[in-house]
Amino acid sequence: MTHEREKRAEAERRFYYRANAAGETITLATPISGCSTWTEQSAWLKRQTWPHHKIRLLLFDTSGDHRFHQQIRDWISTADYPDVRHVITSVELHGLADEDRRDHQVKRDVQLACAKMYNQIRLMANEGEYLWIVEDDIIPPDDVAERLMSSMGPYIASVSAVYNSRYEDGAVVFDSIRTRMKPSTVVEPCRGNGFGCVMLRTLILSEYVFTHRGPTNDYDHNFYDWLNRHPNCNGALVDWDCWCRHLSAMGDKCQSQLTDDKVVLKSAVK
Between the alpha carbon of residue 232 and those of residues 8, 121, 227, 259, the distances in Å are 17, 23, 9, 38
Q: Is 74 helix (H, G, I), strand (E, B) or coil?
A: helix
Gap between the Cα atoms of 173 and 236, Å rounded: 11
3-state helix, strand, coil in the chain (%, to 5): 30, 25, 40
Q: Torsion angle, CA of 18/19/23/24, rounded to 10 degrees?
A: -160
CB 140, CB 45: distance < 8 Å: no
For the chain, the structural domain boundaries read 2-267
- pLDDT reading at 96 higher than 80: no
Strand (E) or helix (H) holding 240 = strand 236-243
Could you tell me the pTM of the whole model? 0.85
Answer whether CATH 3.90.550.10 is correct for domain 2-267: yes
Question: pLDDT tens digits for 126-157?
Answer: 888 999 999 999 999 999 999 999 998 888 99
Contact between 28 and 132 under an 8 Å Cβ cutoff? The reply is yes
CA distances from 42 to 21, 131, 133, 138, 193 (A): 25, 19, 15, 11, 24
What pLDDT band is residue 267 in, cutting at 50, 70 and 90? very low
pLDDT in tens, 168-215: 888 999 998 778 999 998 999 999 999 999 999 999 999 999 998 888
Residues 2, 44: Cα–Cα separation, whole Å = 34
